[in-house]
Amino acid sequence: MFLRFELRHWLRRAMPWVFLAIVSLLFFGLIASDFVQLGGVQASVRRNSPTTIQNMYGVISLVGLLMTTVFMQATATRDYACGIDPLIFSKPIRRRDYFFGKFLGAYLIALIPTLGVTIGTLIGPWMPWVQPHRYGPASIEAHALGFFGLVVPNTLFTGAIIYALAVTFRSNLVSYVGAMLILVLYVIGRNLGSGLENRWLGGLVDPLGGLAMQIANRYRTIAEQNAGPVGMSGVLLANRLLWATAAVAILGFFYTRFRFSDRARVGLSRWGLRPMSRWGLRPSGGASGDVVGRSETGVAGDGMFPVATGRLAIGGYRPRDAGGFSWSRLGHLIWAETKGVVTSQAFLIIVILGMMNMAGSLASFKDLFDSRQYPVTYNMVDLIRGGFYLFLIGLITFYSGVILWRGRDARMQEIIDATPTGTASFLVAKVVAMLLAIGMILLSTIAVGVTAQTLAGYTRYELPVYFKSLLVLDWLQFAFMAVSAILLQVLLNQRYAAYFGFILVLVLFAFAPLLSGVTSNLVIFGGVPSSTYSDMNGFGPFVPGLFWFNLYWVLFCLLLLVVAYLFYVRGNDIDRQSRWAESKRRLRGAWPYGVSIVALLIGCGGWVYYNTDVLNRRYSREEIEGLQKGYELAYKRYQGVPQPRFEAFEFAIDIDPQARDLEAVVTARARNRGEGPIDRLHFTLPPQTKPEDVSIEIPGGKVDVDDPPHRWRSYLLDKPLGPGEAVTMTIRTKWLTPGFENQTSTTSLTQNGTFFNNGDIVPAIGYSADREVADPGRRKKLGLPERTRMPRLDPTDMVGRGNHYIAADSDWVTMRTVISTSIDQIAVAPGSLKREWSEGGRRYFEYELDHPSLNFYSFISARYEVAREKWNGIDLEVYHIPEHAYNVPRMLDSIRKSLAYYTEHYGPYRHRQCRIIEFPRYATFAQAFPGTMPYSEGIGFISDLREIGPEEIDPVFYVVSHEMAHQYWAHQVIGANMQGSEMLSESFSNYSALMVMEREYGKENMRKFLTHELDSYLAGRAGESQEERPLARAEGQAYIHYNKGSLVLYYLKEMIGEANVNRALRGLVERFGYRDPPYPTSADAIAAFREVTPPELQYLIDDWFENITIFSSEVVEATYRREGDAYVVEMVTRTDKYRVDGKGNETAVEVNDFIDVAVFAEPESGEGLGKPLAQERRRLTGPEHRFTFRVNAPPYQAGIDPYNLLIDRQPNRHLRRVTEQ
Amino acid sequence: MPGELVLRGLTKRYPNGVLALDGVSLTLGKGMFGLLGPNGAGKSTLMRTLATLQLPDAGGAWLDGIDIIGDPQSLRQRLGYLPQEFGVYPGVSATELLHHLAILKGFDDKRVRGEMVDGLLEKVNLYEHRKRAVSGYSGGMRQRFGIAQCLIGDPELVIVDEPTAGLDPGERNRFYNILSEIGEQVIVLLSTHIVQDVRELCERMAIMNRGHVIYDGTTDDALGLIRGRVFEKKVSKGELAKTYQRHRVLSSKLVGGTPLVHVYSDGPPEEDGVQQEGYRPAEETLEDVYFAKLNEVI
């Protein structure tokens, strides 16, 4: 009966159908239009692939939480809200029918809108404008699995919580809190799942199953994703069962608590919660309980009221100037309103939930490989933002309504409105109270942050950073939000419409810039330049922009408040006409304020515009791409045209850090190394300077073509440059920072931490392919031809091998630098420091490279402390800020040990110094330049290595030895600009670092590292946008040349021995180190490996370097029996081997491989691997094998490929506990 | 003229088309003024208009020359208003709430305010209960609290809208005692649909119906309008319909289960020239005036 009633009730309402329409439209847009996107789009996964479709059902579960909440709440509290409950409950109905009937009805209705996914995604692909090749046939299975596997159980769970809470507490608010709780679980799951360790647990915790889906899909290739949906098994199945069971349990539990009894009792108090506290909200169930007209039951205890005698003795109290404005009255109002907000229970609950959510992530900071970071304050700030702000936005949304309707909710509005306090005071008090409440929350997050820091044993709190970030920058953002929310409440004068409107506005402003291409922060509400705090540089380059844009929006919000004042409802006239008339009346008093604010706003906006659009230029993405396209179309024909090559540089650079300016005079010598004369020189100007600020003087040369927008300039020589002849040119570059920008475009020039490359100030000779639009999708859109990511690997192409992949205008160059900076800073350029002096209040340094190097180096200036050491005549230096001294000894240690290994195995180190130089965290990487390694302050310098365990990876040690290895692999041996060349630099550097680490930490530590590399590789290939390549042909694919590179080279070393691998590598250094072209390719490296590999293992090179190979091994059975003192272990295994093509299609190939098998004792620490009791490397042919081992100690585990050396998507099946027969 | 509230041609039509006030003109002096009328007569609209919570479409109202419509702020300084239904912030004590409202009425000085609040609480005999939450008060206590807040700052005009609805007789008496005391000094406008209240409290009164004032004068004059023209009779339920057809029935109410009708008639009621039996002159009440006016028999 109740089921049918609910269904009838809802089906006749517009809401389910409106939601259905919205969802259909949304998902139609997602699938049929490029404008609406969700997450990263992979070009080769079909837009309606079964997996994508299935994922969309996961997405609607999250979005649909809001809709489910609406249906469930309305259904659960409708009877109470309209006061019909006594009528219903006095009828002879059954509790069960009522409770479950209504739930089931609302549940079925809540499923309706989710069908919009089905509708939208089925229709989308049929639209005439779509590119048909990006779509496949609709998969019934995907829709079924998505709907029944995700949506149905999710709605059941979310619905159960919301309904049960709403019906039990008869309060919408409590069930909102329930919805928030689901969000918290969702976020906690995400946090848990972000590391490798607890991924499975995280997948279980996320109640919506999205994470479990991701985990199950993580290693699936494009082909698999296109072929079918993720099956219901493993963590996904476990997750679904867990939460469906939880839903039933929740419903059951609350059903036993459910009573028809009178509503006054059933409130929160029965649950030990006080009804919403003073000045705050009340549960909506008793919405009118406090109203005089209704609750006139008896007289409470004061029957003896003596009739007042005599005159009214209360006369004589007249207010002082009752009509005027008074600060103390405003102050009191603000206090009362603030108290009303912050002491209400809902407020506290939301804040506590937010804090809980935040605390989860505050507990530890993850660096590379799940290692810990010091909780430096900016990290805390970022975590607070990530963990709390969603709740804060929810709070602002909700309380904008509460605060504005507080008087009306309490039915006190008429009394209040009839007092002589000014309307503006009421409004201002509410707004200020809101802002104060937000401020208090932010303040309390700071307290939590500081506590978390203290608990982590970290005491450099940096309160000013907290305050500036949270209580100034973020608080202002929330203030803008709050003002607009309140304005909407005032204008619409309908609480729920305004909630909805506000959320719409939020979404609109989040997506409108993307969709419309509008970028100016002057027209995006609340828009300010994004900023990053750096321990080195503070808010450095962002300060002026932040100040002026915030001022602009503060003024704008004041104007909004004037509008809100005009329409603020006072009294009972709420029809549009009366409000309009009243606003005109108020305008008579308010216009001077409005006009002055507008004047200030125009002034401020004008100044901002002058800075962002006159002093600077703003480019939209389309404009930038247009310029890139123009450059490519006009000048691509000059690619490969013979040009002289740089061979020597003299730099004179003056940096003004405070002004963020620099001037450079560069004397550069270039030589014609070709066979014919050259009569024209072509230049591509630096990317960030103004083209007119770069001048090039060439003796006997004059400008032939000057194309500033495309940054192209050609010179015609009077006398052609003959073969072998050199030309010396003088380049003058000014790189200036005028005013401030809409978005700070460069952080290279900055107050403390200037960090730029030679390419930023010196023009490149000839055409630069790296200026082209790279993204295949964008190229297609722009009508540009398809472009390979890298030229094909072809060792016979000697022209192609004439350039390495870093630069196309030089080979090995010499350089000398005189660099000056402000008196308090140290400036660093490559090479040995020759001279240092002060002059005219500035500090000068002269450096010279000790050995010709790649034309690829950096210049840096900041206030540094320098840690120095000497190792075999080489200066080891770490330039860092005083606060970041934690890991400096570790870095020096790593340099020393790396140098020891590399000089022993690869050959001499050619520079006289190894420098690690800290730079601001605007970028988080470490990079190797000749003898110099800039290292971001955001990684490494703040890694917390205090309690690093034997099983954990020391990320600092690893990164430094990797960068040190680049001094050989890239800076001595540099690959030609062809596929596979990054193997020579990145894979070899990873291998080198692994060897240094293995020496330092032992073999067991490598296992952990390789597990991470395996995970990254498998996830990377699943996310491949074009085609996976074999290692020897990788083309800028980091997951291959870094992660797979580590796995493959380590495996090779395990199979043929470290000495052999190093012999091959040393051979490469000797043959190609610092040699002129032709540059080596991956084929040279493979040939070198083949030479040191015995014939029976040559297949390894085929499998791992030249093809994509994947294994799947499993211990099917492992048992043992005792024979006297010995144990006989029997193990049955299955191994399959696949060759995989670029799209992920697998073909089974015969197993004929050397694979390790082993039996282990129980590990002492309880986890990981125990002592090996027996271990062999066996050549296995065919899939299934049976092994028998005889061991002398109790066996615990047996395994095939137990160290996970082979690439396998389910490495956890390689070991099995041994059971007694 | 001092101490006078003048209403001229107040008219208000709601957006839904209801004409709530239709040219209401009244003049009120010091003392209690009763406003009678059935539900929907426009009483509350009139009250809210005078309490500056609504603007009329036409007409004006002045208190001692203060333009209520044009300068609501000045009126609010002299106004005490007890709306028909009011609630309070939950969990807030009487003292705290009175302080809050006193501040809103301009009492910035904490000491003065404290004295006044205590005085008011004593006045309405809530002093003992001053620390209790008003939301936990009984109906009568809450109405007394309402009066206390009404009196903050010595208002010159006090407006109370249906203040005794739902009060038991004892509480009602207590409430009226306070009210009548106030009426000795200022203008008190009391709206009610309980005719008896007006008789007891007010010297002057008005009756409203459908936005019009259909009577304005003293209560005595009102009674004079029907003196000697109201007759009552107990009739059986079967006769009731016939009585309504034949006579100008003002009201019928059950007394001991039998309908007692009041009939308006210039002389003893007749039917077809035949004087009817059983009718006897009734003691004239304001209620009869009220119904006579509503039914437009006078």
B181, A280: Cβ pair inside 8 Å? no
A292, B139: Cβ pair inside 8 Å? yes
Nearest residue of chain B to residue A573 (CA atoms)? B54
Nearest residue of chain B to residue A408 (CA atoms)? B87
Q: Within chain B, where are the H helices? A: 43-50, 72-76, 94-104, 110-123, 139-150, 169-183, 195-201, 219-226, 237-246, 286-294
pLDDT score recorded for residue A279: 36
Nearest to A278 among B91, B104, B142 (CB): B91
A296, B167: Cβ pair inside 8 Å? yes
Per-residue confidence band for A1055, with pLDDT thresholds at 50, 70 and 90:
very high
Identify whether the C-beta of residue A387 lies closer than 8 Å to the C-beta of residue A459: no
- The answer to whether residue A85 scores a pLDDT higher than 80 is no
A279, B143: Cβ pair inside 8 Å? no
CA dihedral A228, A234, A236, A238 (to 10 degrees): 150
A312, B170: Cβ pair inside 8 Å? no
Residues 136-195 of B with CB under 8 A from A: 137-143, 146, 149, 151-154, 165-168, 170-171, 174, 177-178, 181-182, 184-185
* Gap from B133 CA to chain A (nearest CA, Å): 9
A879 compared with B14, residue with greater pLDDT: A879
pLDDT score recorded for residue A38: 47
Per-residue confidence band for A41, with pLDDT thresholds at 50, 70 and 90:
very low
* Gap from A88 CA to chain B (nearest CA, Å): 26
The pLDDT of B55-74, averaged and rounded, is 91
* Gap from B236 CA to chain A (nearest CA, Å): 35
Nearest Cα residue to A1212 out of A191, A193, A219: A219
Q: What angle do CA A739, A742, A746 make, to 5 degrees?
A: 70
Lowest mean pLDDT among A248-262, A1046-1060, A1107-1121: A248-262
Q: Tell me which H or E stretch contains B275.
A: strand B274-275
pLDDT score recorded for residue B228: 86
A312, B151: Cβ pair inside 8 Å? yes
State whether the Cα torsion A919-A921-A922-A924 is positive or negative: positive
- The answer to whether residue A278 scores a pLDDT higher than 60 is no
Nearest residue of chain B to residue A311 (CA atoms)? B181
Alpha carbons within 13 A on the beta-carbon side of B46? 37
Residue A812, strand partner residues: A854
- The answer to whether residue A1160 scores a pLDDT higher than 80 is yes
Contacts of A1048 (CB under 8 A, 6+ apart): A987, A1031, A1104, A1105
A336, B51: Cβ pair inside 8 Å? no
Per-residue confidence band for A324, with pLDDT thresholds at 50, 70 and 90:
low
Q: Which residues of B touch A277 (CB under 8 A)?
A: 91
The pLDDT of B166-171, averaged and rounded, is 82
pLDDT score recorded for residue A264: 40
Q: Which residues of A touch B125 (CB under 8 A)?
A: 302, 305-306, 308
pLDDT tens per residue across span A335-349: 999 988 888 767 877
What percent of chain A has a predicted confidence (pLDDT) above 90? Answer: 56
ipTM of the complex: 0.91
* Gap from B205 CA to chain A (nearest CA, Å): 23
B181, A312: Cβ pair inside 8 Å? yes
Lowest mean pLDDT among A35-39, B151-155, B183-187, B210-214: A35-39
pLDDT score recorded for residue A266: 42
Q: Within A370-422, where are the H helices? A: 377-404, 406-409, 413-417
A62 compared with A1184, residue with greater pLDDT: A1184
pLDDT tens per residue across span A397-432: 888 988 998 888 888 999 999 998 889 999 999 999
* Gap from B208 CA to chain A (nearest CA, Å): 21
Q: Does B268 touch chain A (CB under 8 A)?
A: no
pLDDT score recorded for residue A301: 37
Q: Which residues of A touch B182 (CB under 8 A)?
A: 312
Strand order in the sheet with A754-757: A754-757, A858-862, A826-828
Residues 108-127 of B with CB under 8 A from A: 108-109, 112, 115-116, 119-120, 123-125
The pLDDT of B29-57, averaged and rounded, is 91
* Gap from A289 CA to chain B (nearest CA, Å): 9
The pLDDT of A497-525, averaged and rounded, is 80
Residues 61-80 of B with CB under 8 A from A: 73-74, 76-77, 79
- The answer to whether residue A310 scores a pLDDT higher than 60 is no
- The answer to whether residue A1066 scores a pLDDT higher than 50 is yes
* Gap from A141 CA to chain B (nearest CA, Å): 55
B178, A278: Cβ pair inside 8 Å? no
A418, B90: Cβ pair inside 8 Å? no
pLDDT tens per residue across span A187-220: 778 777 776 667 888 888 888 888 888 888 877 8
Identify whether the C-beta of residue A526 lies closer than 8 Å to the C-beta of residue A520: no
Strand order in the sheet with A1152-1160: A1172-1181, A1152-1160, A1197-1200, A1215-1217
The pLDDT of A1145-1174, averaged and rounded, is 88
Residue B187, strand partner residues: B31, B157
Q: Which residues of A touch B20 (CB under 8 A)?
A: none
* Gap from B257 CA to chain A (nearest CA, Å): 27
Nearest residue of chain A to residue B111 (CA atoms)? A317
Average pLDDT of chain B? 88
Nearest Cα residue to A43 out of A53, A56, A34, A55: A34
Q: Helix, strand or coil for residue A256?
A: helix
A313, B119: Cβ pair inside 8 Å? yes
Q: Helix, strand or coil for residue A438?
A: helix
Q: Which residues of B touch A291 (CB under 8 A)?
A: 85-87
The pLDDT of A532-557, averaged and rounded, is 95
pLDDT score recorded for residue B154: 86
Per-residue confidence band for A737, with pLDDT thresholds at 50, 70 and 90:
very high
Q: Which of A82-91, A273-282, A305-314, A526-535 has the highest mean pLDDT?
A: A526-535
Q: Which residues of A touch B181 (CB under 8 A)?
A: 308, 311-312
Cis peptide, bond prior to residue A644, ω within 30 of zero: no
* Gap from B258 CA to chain A (nearest CA, Å): 29
Nearest to B119 among A278, A305, A314 (CB): A314
CB neighbourhood size of A292 (10 A): 27
CA distance A527 to A509: 9
Per-residue confidence band for A43, with pLDDT thresholds at 50, 70 and 90:
low
Per-residue confidence band for A323, with pLDDT thresholds at 50, 70 and 90:
low
A415, B83: Cβ pair inside 8 Å? yes
Q: Does B48 touch chain A (CB under 8 A)?
A: yes
Nearest Cα residue to A472 out of A427, A495, A440, A439: A439
pLDDT score recorded for residue A366: 60
Q: Which residues of A touch B48 (CB under 8 A)?
A: 414, 571-572
Test the B interface: residue of A294, A317, A320 with most B CBs within 10 Å = A317
* Gap from B137 CA to chain A (nearest CA, Å): 7
A279, B154: Cβ pair inside 8 Å? no
Q: Which residues of B touch A332 (CB under 8 A)?
A: 100, 103
Q: Helix, strand or coil for residue B194?
A: coil
A234 compared with A1158, residue with greater pLDDT: A1158
CA dihedral A754, A756, A758, A763 (to 10 degrees): -110
Tokens 């001037």 belong to which residue? Answer: A663
A872 compared with A258, residue with greater pLDDT: A872
- The answer to whether residue A627 scores a pLDDT higher than 90 is yes
A1160 compared with A259, residue with greater pLDDT: A1160
Q: Which residues of B touch A308 (CB under 8 A)?
A: 123-125, 177-178, 181
Nearest residue of chain A to residue B50 (CA atoms)? A418
Q: Tell me which H or E stretch contains A782.
A: helix A776-782
Task: For chains A and B, count residue pairs whose Cβ atoms are closer than 8 Å.
Answer: 209
Q: Which residues of A touch B43 (CB under 8 A)?
A: none
pTM for this prediction: 0.83
- The answer to whether residue A146 scores a pLDDT higher than 70 is yes
Token pair for residue A320?
A: 């002082």
B85, A578: Cβ pair inside 8 Å? no
Q: Which residues of B touch A430 (CB under 8 A)?
A: none
CA distance A905 to A166: 71
Q: Which residues of B touch A421 (CB under 8 A)?
A: 104-106
pLDDT tens per residue across span B77-89: 889 999 988 888 8
Per-residue confidence band for A363, with pLDDT thresholds at 50, 70 and 90:
low
Average pLDDT of chain A? 87
Lowest mean pLDDT among A211-215, A734-738, A1083-1087, B34-38: A211-215
Q: Which residues of B touch A307 (CB under 8 A)?
A: 174, 177
